[in-house]
Chain A
C-alpha cells in the first residue's frame, strides 16, 4: 500500500517568514495530493490540492509543488501569519472512485508574532 512520509514534525517561524513542509510517497500510481489544515479543536480541512498532471499550483499565499519522478511534494506558505498556526497534513491517493487518502503524520506549524 501507499506510504507517506512528512517532515518536519514541528516547524516554528516568525511572522512574515516562509514555511515549507515536505512529503514523499511510495506508490507511483498515486495521482492526487491534497493538503489539509487542522486548527485546534477542529477536523482537518482541505486548503489546496494538486494532481499528477500539474507541477505547481498557487492560491494566494500558499503553493504546492509536485515532483513525480522523485515522488515528493511540498507545501509552501509565504508571509506567514499567526492564524496559519495549525497542524498540516499531506495525503496521497489514486484519486479514483474509491478514493482512500493515506496521510502523513502531520506538521505542527507555529507562527510567532
Chain B
C-alpha cells in the first residue's frame, strides 16, 4: 500500500517559533508538494520539488521554505510562525514516469493541522 506520511497530525506552536513539518513517501516518487488547505480556498500550492535538493515556489511561498535532502523526504519550514499560518497542511507526491497510460496521480498524506497562538 502506497504511503505518504506526515510526522504530526496536530501541532500547536507559538508566534515567532520556527516550525518544521516533515513528510516521507515510500513510493520512490520524484515529485513532492506542500499544499495549504483553508475553508473556501481549496488547496493552494506552497512549494514543490522535482528532485533532491531542487525546489520551486508555488502560489503562496511567502513565510515558508522547504528542504529536500533525500528523495523520500520533503520538509516545510515556517521560519517565524504567525497566526495567519494557522491552517491544514497537506503533503503529496507523484511520479514523473508517465507509463503506458501517463498516470500522474498525486498521493496525499493525512494532513497536519497547525495552530499558531
Residues of A within 8 A of B (CB): 6, 9, 32, 34, 36, 41-46, 49, 51, 89, 93, 95-106
**Are the C-beta atoms of B90 and A43 separated by less than 8 Å?**
yes
Q: Residue of A at shortest CB range from B42? A: A105
Is B40's CB under 8 angstroms from A45's CB? Answer: no
Does any Cβ of A come within 8 Å of B117's Cβ?
no
Residue contact B102 to A46, C-beta cutoff 8 Å: no
Contact A98–B31 (Cβ < 8 Å): yes
Interface class of chain A by DSSP? loop
Closest A residue to B103 by CB, please name it.
A49
Q: Nearest B residue to A42 by beta-carbon distance?
A: B110
Q: Can you report 10 A-B residue pairs in the complex whose CB atoms are below 8 A from each other?
A: A42-B110, A43-B109, A43-B110, A43-B111, A46-B105, A51-B102, A89-B42, A98-B31, A102-B45, A106-B42
| Residues of B contacting A104 in the complex (Cβ-Cβ under 8 angstroms) | 42
- A46 near B110 with CB under 8 A, answer no
- Decide if A32 touches B108 in the complex (CB within 8 Å): no
CA distance A45 to B106 in the complex (A): 8
B110 touching A41 by the CB < 8 A rule? yes
Interface residues as binary, B84-117 with A (CB distance below 8 Å gives 1, 0 otherwise):
0000001010101010001011111111000000
Task: With A89-B42, A89-B43, A99-B31 as known contacts, state yes or no: A45 contacts B102, CB within 8 Å.
Answer: no
Does B64 count as interface, using CB distance less than 8 angstroms? Answer: no
B62-85 with Cβ < 8 A to chain A: none
Chain B interface residues (CB < 8 Å from chain A): 4, 31, 33, 35, 40-43, 45, 48, 50, 90, 92, 94, 96, 98, 102, 104-111
How many angstroms from the CA of A96 to the CA of B107 in the assembled complex?
A: 16
Establish whether residues A98 and B42, one from each chain, have CB atoms under 8 Å apart when the complex forms. no
Cross-chain contact B43 with A32 (CB below 8 angstroms): no
Does the CB pair A99–B42 fall under 8 Å?
A: no
Which residues of A have CB within 8 Å of B96?
A: 97-99
Say whether B41 contacts A105, CB under 8 Å: yes
Residue of B nearest to A93 (CB): B104
